[in-house]
Amino acid sequence: MTRRVRQEMARSSADPTRQVSLTVNGEAVTREVSTRLLLSDFLRHELGLTGTHVGCEHGVCGCCTVTLDGAAMRSCLAFAVQVEGADIRTIEGVAGAGDVLHPVQQAFHECHALQCGFCTPGFIMSIVTYFEENKDPDLSDDGIRAALSGNLCRCTGYQNIVKAVRRAHELMKA
Amino acid sequence: MSTAMFGARVQRLADARLVRGEGSFIDDIPLEGALHVAFVRSPFARARILSIDCQAAREMESVAAVYTCDDLGSLDILMPLLIPHPSLDQPRTQRPLARGDVFHVGQPVAMVVALDRYTAEDAIRLIDVDYEPLEVELDLQAAVADGAPRVHEDVANNVAAHFVQSTGDPDGAFARADHITKIKVQVDRSTAAPLECRAVAARWDRVSGELTVWDGTQAPISVRGGLASILGLDEDKVRVTAPDVGGGFGQKVLLFYPDELLVPFAAMQLGRPVKYIEDRNENFIGSSQERTQIHELELAATKDGEVLGLRDSFLHDTGAFIPYGIAIAQVASTSIAGPYRVPNIWVEFKAVYTPTVTITPYRGCGRPQACFAIERAMDKLADELGLDRFEVRRRNLIRDEDFPYRRDGLMFADGLAVEYDSGQYGRALDMMAEHIDLDGFAAEQQEARAEGRYLGLGLGFYVEGTGLGPYEGSHIRIHPITGKVYVNTGLSCQGQGHETVFAQVAADQLGVDASDVIVVEGDTAAFDWGVATFASRAAVVSGNAIHKAAAKVREQVLEAASNMLEAAKEDLVLEGGKVFVNGVPDMAATLAEIATASNPLRYAFNEAAKTSTQFAPASRHDGPALGEGEAPGLEATDYYSPPHAAWAYGVHAAIIEVDPDLCSITFKRYICVHDCGRMINPTLVEGQIMGGIAQGVGGAHYERIEFDEEGNPRNANFMDFLMPYATEVPHAEILHIETPSPLNPLGVKGVGEAGCIPVGQVVASGVADALQPLGIGPLEHVPLTPDMIFTALGGEKEE
Ligand code: FES
Ligand code: FES
C-alpha cells in the first residue's frame, strides 16, 4: 500500500477554549477545554474516566449517568464548561475505601444484573442516587421499575436489575 | 467426571471489572495520537452521485485526509458475499464508499479523518455531494411486481434469490385434507440496538509491518482473515481483538461494514492510529437490521385437527444488499413447521431488495417470523375447528418417541438436514398448562369481564436450531508457574458470560475452581482457528471443544502425576488444584508442580523450577529430557464439529390485560418453559432468556423501523424508536426441562436466541383472547401497536 506523505496538520482543534475547574470523585481538576466538548467526552477522554459510557448521546439511554452535586444527570446532555465549580461523581468514585465494592455494585454481581456491562455504570449511578435520595425507598416491583425507568438495558431484560436493587437495599441495611 | 461445576449457579467471573466501570470497550482503549473518523452518508434511498467536492474539507487544518471511492485504490471493491448459495442468483454487495450510485439512506459516500470527532463532523458538512434522486418502492409486495422501481438496475422484480424446498408429498396431503386453514402474517423490521454501537480502531506499525485492529465484532478470526486477504497482508501480521463488546445480537457478526476496512486502511496510509466510534443515529442508518417477512401459509388438516401438510410462500426483505446470503430466510423456511409433526411441507421464499439498510441476522434470525406464522396458523386452525388451543397443539407435537425427527428435503442454514435431536414437547406443554392454572385463569377472565376488564391468555411454542458448525476449537494450557488453567478459544463475547461457562467446563475436567480458569477469547493472537459467535452456538460448539481439550490435558496431568507420585493412574484423584493418591492425601502434587515437572528446564528461576532442572534427582539422566514424540508442559488443543444443529424448544404464555379504550397492554404474568439440553449454568441461561424476552416484547408491541415513502427512516434515534424500559418488560417465571442433546459430549443446546422467538405470537394471541368478547378482528401483524389494536376493534383510522 502506498503511504501518503503526512499532511501538515494542526496539533489541536481550532475550537475556542475556556478554562473549567471542578471536583471529580473528590479530586480537584482544572482543564482548558473546547467550549463544545460534552461533559461525557470530557470525563472519558480528557480525564480518562472511561467507566461513564455513551450509548445514544441524546439523553435517552442513561449509560452516561453521573451525579452532579449529588443529583443524577446525563453527562451527554451538558458541556464540560457548564459544570464549572460542580462536584461530579462517576462510577469510578463509587466503590468504598480499600476498593470494596459499593453495595449496589456487589448486588449487581450477586444477582447477575449485568451481561455486556455497557449500561451498568449508568444503572449503578442512578440506583446509588435513588437510595441516597430515598431513605425509605419503594421496593415493590413497580416501585423499583419506576426508579429504573431512566436507563435502557438491551441484555438483561431488567429482571435481575430489579432483584439487585432489593439485594443492595439489604446489603446497605446490614 | 466430577460434576461440581457443570450445572452450578457460578457467579460471573467478568463482573468485577464491569461494575467498577473498568471494562475496556473499544472507545475506552487509550490510543496515543489517534485520529477520528466521520462519514458523509447518503441522504437519499436511491440516487446517482453526480459529483463530490471535498476541496473545502481537505483544506481544513485539522483534517488529515478525506477519502472518496476514487482515493481507495485496491480497496474500491465490492465487499465479499459471505455465504453464497445456489439459489442466490442475483447477489449484490456494497462498496466501502459508494461509486456512482447510492442504495439506501445512510450509505457511506466519503470518509473524513481528523483530529477529533467534532472536527471530523465539521468537515463532512463542508463536503458537497450532488445527487440525482431516483424512484423508489418501499413496500415489499409492490417491489416484486413487474415494473416496480428497481434497487439494482439489472435485478428484475428486485428478487435476489428464489428458493423452494419440500418434504414428503404436500400436494397429496392437501388433496386428502378435511379442512384447510389459510393465513397471511407479517413481521416488521426492527434492529438489534446493542447499547454500545459498533466501533473499530486500528494501529499500523510500519517497522514490524503489523496491523492491530480493535473491532467490536462477533467474528474476530473471520475479520482477520478478510482483512489480510483484502489488504494483502500476511495473516500473521494482522491481529484482531474484540475486547469488551457492549452487546451484539447478530448485528456485529456481519463483516465487513465499510468502516471495518477503511479504518485499518487509513491507519496504514496515515501512519497514525485511527478510530471510528459509530453514533446512535449511524447505528440506525448504517448497521444492519432484520425481520420484515410476509408469509402466506396454509395448513391441511383432518377434522380432528391433525395437520397433514403445510404450504408457505413468503417474501423476505433483504435491504439494499445481501452480504449474508439467504441465511435468515433459510432459517425461517426450515423452522416453519415449528414443533409439529407435519410430514408434508412445501415452502418457498423470495429474498427481495429494498432501498433500505442491509438485512443480516438479528437475534432470532428468521425464527421469530416462522414461529409467528405457524403459531398464528395453529390458533386459527383451532378456532375454525372449534378446538382448544392447547389441544390442537397436543395432537400435533412431535412425540418423545419420534426423536430423532427428520424433515428430509429441508436443508438448514448449516447446509445439513433438519433433524430435531431430542425433546419432551408434550411435557413442556403440560407443565405450562399446569403452571398457568388454566381453570383458575378461566374463572379470573370471567370475573374480569364482568367488571369490564379484558384479560387474555397468550400462548406460543417455538423450536430453535442451535449450535451450528462448522466448528470451534480450544487450546488449554496449565501455566507452569501459577498452576492456573488457560483456555483459549476463537469466539468473542458480547456479554453472554462465555468466560464463566467455559471455565466451568474446563474446571470439571481439571479439578480446579472455575475462578482458577482464565478464559481468553476474542484475540487472534491467542487462538486463531474458528469462526464466530452467532446462532446460539458458543456453549455447544466452543463448550464441547473446551471439554474435549480439557479431557486430553486431564490425561496428561494424571500420566505425569503417576510418574511423580509413583502411583497407578487409577489410584489418583484430581481435585482442589492438585492430584493425590486416593486415601493418602499427603501423597500429592499441585497442578503447578506437575506442570513444572513436565517441562524439562535448564534454569532454576524459582523454587519449584529446581525440581525440573538437569541435575535434579527426578530429571532423566539416561537419555534425552524429552523422549521421541513427547512435548513439554501440560497442554492440548481440540475441536468440536457438530453433526448438525441441536434443536432447543420451549413454550411461552402470558396473561395480558388490554385496555380497549387506550388499546394498551399490560402483562399480568409471563411464563416460559424451555429446554436447552443440559444447562452449564442455570443463572446465565435464565439471563439469556430474560434478555431475549425483553427484546421479544419490543418486537411484539413497540419496536419498528419506520420509513417514509422516500425511504427516509423516521425514527432513527432512541427517542422515537421505542425500546422497552424496565417499566414495559414483564417479570418472567422460568421453568426448566433438561433433555440432553445426544449430539455432543456435554449434552447441551444453545439458548442465546430462544427468549425472543415466540413473544410476538404470545402477545397477539393474548390480545385476541382478551378482546374476543368485543369481536376483535384478526391480529396477524407485529409489532402489534395500539393503532393496530384500535383498527382490529373496528376503529376508524384518523390520518
Ligand atoms: S449517552 Fe447520555 S443518555 Fe444516552
Ligand atoms: S448489560 Fe448489556 S446493555 Fe445492559
Tell me what pLDDT residue A57 has: 95
Running DSSP on this structure, what letter comes out for residue B701? I
Q: CA B788, B792, B797: angle at the middle one, nearest 5?
A: 65
Tell me what pLDDT residue B613 has: 84
Tell me what pLDDT residue A5 has: 55
At residue B1 the predicted structure's pLDDT band, cuts being 50, 70 and 90, is very low
At residue B530 the predicted structure's pLDDT band, cuts being 50, 70 and 90, is confident
CA distance B316 to B336: 14
What is the pairing mode between strands B179-187 and B101-102? unpaired
Average pLDDT for B262-287: 97
Instruction: Give the pLDDT confidence of B7-33 residue by residue, as tens digits.
Output: 999 999 999 999 999 999 999 999 999
Indicate yes or no: CB of A112 within 8 angstroms of CB of B12. Answer: yes
Running DSSP on this structure, what letter comes out for residue A3? P
Region A17-93: CATH code: 3.10.20.30
Q: For residue A13, is pLDDT > 90?
A: no
Tell me what pLDDT residue B2 has: 46
Which cell numbers hold the place of B164? 423452494
CATH 3.30.1490.20 fits B293-468+643-792, yes or no: no
Q: For residue B687, is pLDDT > 80?
A: yes
Q: Topology of B469-598+633-640 in CATH?
A: Aldehyde Oxidoreductase; domain 4 (3.30.365)
- Angstrom distances, CA of residue B418 to CA of B166, B236, B424, B464: 12, 38, 18, 11
Q: What count of other Cβ atoms lies within 10 Å of the Cβ of residue B243?
A: 20
Instruction: Give the pLDDT confidence of B359-392 residue by residue, as tens digits.
Output: 999 999 999 999 999 999 999 999 999 999 999 9
Residues of B in contact with A155 (CB under 8 A): 195, 247, 495, 687, 691
Which cell numbers hold the place of A87? 462536584
For chain B, percent of residues with pLDDT exceeding 90 = 89
Tell me what pLDDT residue A3 has: 54
CA of B700 to the centre of ligand 1 (A): 25
CA distance B175 to B166: 16
| Buried/exposed B344-359: b ≥16 CB within 10 Å, e otherwise | bbbbebbbbbbbbbbb
Q: For residue B482, is pLDDT > 50?
A: yes
At residue B535 the predicted structure's pLDDT band, cuts being 50, 70 and 90, is confident
What is the strand order of the sheet B664-675 is part of? B454-466, B646-659, B664-675, B732-737
Q: For residue A22, is pLDDT > 90?
A: yes
Mean pLDDT in chain B? 95
Q: For residue A10, is pLDDT > 80?
A: yes
Average pLDDT for A37-65: 97
A108–chain B Cβ distance below 8 A for any pair: yes
At residue A102 the predicted structure's pLDDT band, cuts being 50, 70 and 90, is very high
Residues with CB under 6 A from ligand 2: A 114-120, 153-156; B 195, 246-247, 495
Beta bridge partners of B649: B463, B675
Q: For residue B737, is pLDDT > 90?
A: yes
Angle between helical axes of B759-771 and B367-385 (0-180°, round to 10): 30
Tell me what pLDDT residue A96 has: 84
Residues of A in contact with B116 (CB under 8 A): 13
CA distance B637 to A46: 44
φ, ψ of residue B261 to 5 degrees: the values are -95, -40
CA distance B715 to B713: 6
CA distance B334 to B212: 40
| Residue ranges matching CATH 3.90.1170.50 in chain B | 32-81+92-134+193-286
- Angstrom distances, CA of residue B94 to CA of B109, B144, B322, B744, B751: 11, 21, 9, 38, 32
Nearest to A155 among B15, B116, B247 (CB): B247
**Which residues in chain B (741-760) have CB-CB distances under 8 A to chain A?**
755
Is B653 exposed, middle or buried (CB count within 10 Å of its CB: 0-12, 13-18, 19+)?
Answer: buried
Nearest to A118 among B247, B268, B271 (CB): B247
Q: For residue B323, is pLDDT > 70?
A: yes
Domain boundaries, chain A: 17-93, 97-173
Q: For residue A7, is pLDDT > 70?
A: no
Average pLDDT for B457-463: 98
Average pLDDT for A1-23: 80
Running DSSP on this structure, what letter comes out for residue B702? I
Q: Which residues contact B415 (CB under 8 A, 6 or more apart)?
A: none
Q: Which residues contact B67 (CB under 8 A, 6 or more apart)?
A: B97, B110, B111, B112, B113, B262, B266
> What CATH number does domain B32-81+92-134+193-286 carry, 3.90.1170.50, 3.40.50.2300, 3.40.50.720, 3.40.50.300?
3.90.1170.50
CA of B25 to the centre of ligand 1 (A): 16
What is the pairing mode between strands B238-241 and B63-67? unpaired
Which residue on chain A is closest to B733 by alpha carbon? A159
At residue B271 the predicted structure's pLDDT band, cuts being 50, 70 and 90, is very high
At residue B337 the predicted structure's pLDDT band, cuts being 50, 70 and 90, is very high
φ, ψ of residue B109 to 5 degrees: the values are -115, -40
Residues of B in contact with A111 (CB under 8 A): none
CA distance B320 to B104: 7
Q: Which CATH superfamily is domain A97-173 in?
A: [2Fe-2S]-binding domain (1.10.150.120)
Tell me what pLDDT residue B420 has: 97
Instruction: Give the pLDDT confidence of A155-172 residue by residue, as tens digits.
Output: 999 999 999 999 999 999
**What ipTM was predicted for this assembly?**
0.96
CA distance B88 to B262: 27
Q: For residue B523, is pLDDT > 60?
A: yes
| Residue ranges matching CATH 3.30.365.10 in chain B | 293-468+643-792, 469-598+633-640
Instruction: Give the pLDDT confidence of A140-149 residue by residue, as tens digits.
Output: 999 999 999 9
CA distance B259 to B744: 38
